[in-house]
């Protein structure tokens, strides 16, 4: 079987071991990146395609009759036309759980940085404000203490629940957004509440849900206005879930106190983004690397090998569009 990795450059391949994955196929071609113009050439003759963010739409899939399996080098599958793949008999399998610890650690770092006003204080020291101070310390802007405050989780999967567990260890109260999938979940440590209650009662809101038709624009102008003016918003999930122009306006008007995003609606943001043009003392943007510790990336490659090995044995692992026959 021939396999192709369409965008291995997105995984920083130099510090990874590819031995396990390469052993699963007779030939594995690595492409650092794949543009739209290169897609058909790179997929030519492939039985298995591995893609992180390269879009595989219905038209593309229909042209490549050899394709039997797509391994998504991520958890989110919004870059694959799942229905078209199912019609064509192509299995689509994603990777799950590989980056939970990395995401939780990054989310925690963002939450602490916002609450402690680290960007503002870093800037103040660089500008000489501490050096000129009459007191031994700077306490403006005021620092938020997270212990005793509430964290609201939107998307209580592995990373959302993991962050909630760390937050509880720090003395925070935690709630999660109710959904059809967890309506019957009675976990005492993470009670489910409505969106209205989560927005109005939470001091920190952290987004962990996938990007779907339902979640696109989930946090918009109305939702931001429903939050506390002292609230902090974190998004380590997907760009597009938060309306970026609405968030920009809310930060500028002081409708919320701060935000930290690891994702934007266009990545890389080659066409600009209103948040990148906004100077705000409590706005942090990181370049979609919350998931990317070395251990997480290696786990992703090794799990992908497990998916292919299972497929070759006639089994499906993490299949998102077709059931096992």
- pLDDT per position as a tens digit, 140-185: 999 999 999 999 999 999 999 999 999 999 999 999 999 845 544 5
What's the domain count of the chain? Answer: 2
Other C-beta atoms within 10 Å of 244: how many?
Answer: 21
Query: What pLDDT is stored for residue 183 in this prediction?
Result: 47
Q: Is residue 322 part of a domain?
A: no
Which listed residue (83, 140, 266, 267) is catalytic?
267
* Residue 131's CATH number: 3.40.50.720
The answer to whether residues 150 and 228 belong to one domain is yes
Q: Is residue 319 part of a domain?
A: no
The answer to whether residues 84 and 183 belong to one domain is no
Q: Is residue 317 part of a domain?
A: no
What rounded mean pLDDT belongs to the chain? Answer: 95
262-301 burial, b for 16+ CB within 10 Å, e for fewer?
bbbbeeeeeeebebeebebebbbbeebebbbbeebbbbbb
The answer to whether residues 204 and 85 belong to one domain is no
The answer to whether residues 213 and 78 belong to one domain is no
The answer to whether residues 231 and 306 belong to one domain is no
| pLDDT tens-place string over residues 107-151 | 999 999 999 999 999 999 999 999 999 999 999 999 999 999 999
The answer to whether residues 56 and 133 belong to one domain is no
The answer to whether residues 218 and 265 belong to one domain is yes
Which listed residue (91, 208, 238, 297) is catalytic?
238
The answer to whether residues 153 and 51 belong to one domain is no
The answer to whether residues 233 and 115 belong to one domain is yes
The answer to whether residues 79 and 110 belong to one domain is no
**Could you tell me which of 118, 104, 103, 99 has the C-alpha nearest to residue 284?**
118
The answer to whether residues 203 and 109 belong to one domain is yes
The secondary structure of 39-99, three-state, reads: HHHHHCCCCEEEECCCCECHHHHHHCCCCCEEEECCCCCCCECHHHHHHCCCEEEECCCCC
The answer to whether residues 83 and 213 belong to one domain is no
Residue pair 80/51 in contact (Cβ under 8 Å)? The answer is yes
Any catalytic annotation for residue 267?
yes
Query: What pLDDT is stored for residue 143 in this prediction?
Result: 97
Which residues span the domain enclosing 203? 100-285
Q: Is residue 121 part of a domain?
A: yes
Any catalytic annotation for residue 64?
no
Any catalytic annotation for residue 181?
no
Q: Is residue 262 part of a domain?
A: yes
Q: Is residue 321 part of a domain?
A: no
Q: Is residue 273 part of a domain?
A: yes
Q: Is residue 109 part of a domain?
A: yes
């Amino acid at each position: 079987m021939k396999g192709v990795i369409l965008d291995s450059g997105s995984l920083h391949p130099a510090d990874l071991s590819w031995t396990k994955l390469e052993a699963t196929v007779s030939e594995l071609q690595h492409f650092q990146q794949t543009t739209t113009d290169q897609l058909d050439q790179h997929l030519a003759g492939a039985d298995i395609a591995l893609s992180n963010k390269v879009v595989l739409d219905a038209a593309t899939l229909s042209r490549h009759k050899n394709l039997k399996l797509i391994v998504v080098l991520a958890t989110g599958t919004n870059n694959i036309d799942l229905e078209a793949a199912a019609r064509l008999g192509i299995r689509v399998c994603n990777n799950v759980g590989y980056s939970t610890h990395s995401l939780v650690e990054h989310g925690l770092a963002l939450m602490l940085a916002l609450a402690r006003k680290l960007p503002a204080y870093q800037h103040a020291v660089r500008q000489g404000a501490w050096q000129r101070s009459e007191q031994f310390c700077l306490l403006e802007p005021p620092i938020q203490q997270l212990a005793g405050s509430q964290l609201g989780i939107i998307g209580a999967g592995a990373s959302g629940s993991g962050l909630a567990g760390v937050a509880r260890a720090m003395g925070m109260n935690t709630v999660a957004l109710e959904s059809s999938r967890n309506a019957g979940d009675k976990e005492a440590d993470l009670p489910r509440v409505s969106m209205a209650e989560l927005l109005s009662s939470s001091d920190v809101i952290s987004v962990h849900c996938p990007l779907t038709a339902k979640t696109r624009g989930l946090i918009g102008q109305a939702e931001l206005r429903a939050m506390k003016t002292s609230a902090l918003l974190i998004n380590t999930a997907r760009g597009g879930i938060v309306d970026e122009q609405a968030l920009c306006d809310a930060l500028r008007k002081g409708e919320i106190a701060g935000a930290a995003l690891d994702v934007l609606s266009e990545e890389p943001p080659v066409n600009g983004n209103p948040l990148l043009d906004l100077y705000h003392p409590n706005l942090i943007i990181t370049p979609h690397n919350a998931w990317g510790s070395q251990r997480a990336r290696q786990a992703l490659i090794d799990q992908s090998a497990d998916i292919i090995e299972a497929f070759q044995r006639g089994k499906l692992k993490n299949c998102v569009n077709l059931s096992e026959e």
